[in-house]
C-alpha cells in the first residue's frame, strides 16, 4: 500500500532541540546531537531537560578555543568533534578508518596564528 496523502501541522520554529544531558553542559558548548550542530545558550545540569539552539545556515557564531587553531584563511571549513565539542580544521580523526567530524561552517575572516577567538558562518 502506497501513501496517498500527507499532511502536517506547524508546531514551532525548528531552531531548538530538546536535550537532557548525561553530564553537566556549560553555557556556550557546541554539541552535535541527532545530526545537528547545536549551541548550549545556557548551562544545562546533568539529567535536567533543557534546549539546544540548532545552528542554522548563515548564522554567525564567535568561537573561543583554549588553543589557537593556527593561521587560517577566510572561508576555511571548520568542524566539530562530536564526542568533545572541540572545534578543529580537521575534517576527520585521521584514523585508519577515519571518523568524520560534523561541519560547523567556515571562518568569516582570516584567523591569525595566535588567535583563540574567531567568527564562523554556520553551514
Q: Are residues 33 and 48 in the same domain?
A: yes
Tell whether 113 is covered by a domain: yes
Q: What order of strands is seen across the sheet that includes strand 102-107?
A: 60-64, 117-122, 102-107, 77-80, 87-88
Q: Tell me the three cell numbers of residue 46.
A: 546533568
* pTM reported for the whole predicted model: 0.84
Q: Are residues 71 and 117 in the same domain?
A: yes
Tell whether 7 is covered by a domain: no
Tell whether 43 is covered by a domain: yes
Q: Are residues 41 and 62 in the same domain?
A: no
Q: Are residues 36 and 82 in the same domain?
A: no
pLDDT tens track for 4-42: 666 666 565 668 999 999 999 999 999 999 999 999 999
Q: Which domain holds residue 22?
A: 14-54
Amino acid at each position: 500500500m502506497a501513501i496517498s496523502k500527507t499532511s502536517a501541522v506547524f508546531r514551532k520554529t525548528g531552531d531548538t532541540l530538546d536535550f537532557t544531558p548525561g553530564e553537566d553542559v556549560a553555557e556556550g558548548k557546541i554539541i552535535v546531537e541527532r545530526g545537528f550542530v547545536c549551541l548550549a545558550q545556557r548551562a544545562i545540569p546533568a539529567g535536567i531537560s533543557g534546549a539546544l539552539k540548532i545552528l542554522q545556515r548563515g548564522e554567525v557564531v564567535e568561537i573561543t578555543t583554549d588553543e589557537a587553531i593556527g593561521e587560517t584563511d577566510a572561508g576555511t571549513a571548520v568542524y566539530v568533534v562530536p564526542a568533545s565539542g572541540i572545534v578543529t580544521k580537521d575534517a576527520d580523526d585521521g584514523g585508519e578508518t577515519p571518523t568524520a567530524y560534523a561541519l560547523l561552517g567556515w571562518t568569516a575572516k582570516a584567523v591569525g596564528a595566535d588567535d583563540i577567538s574567531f567568527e564562523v558562518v554556520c553551514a
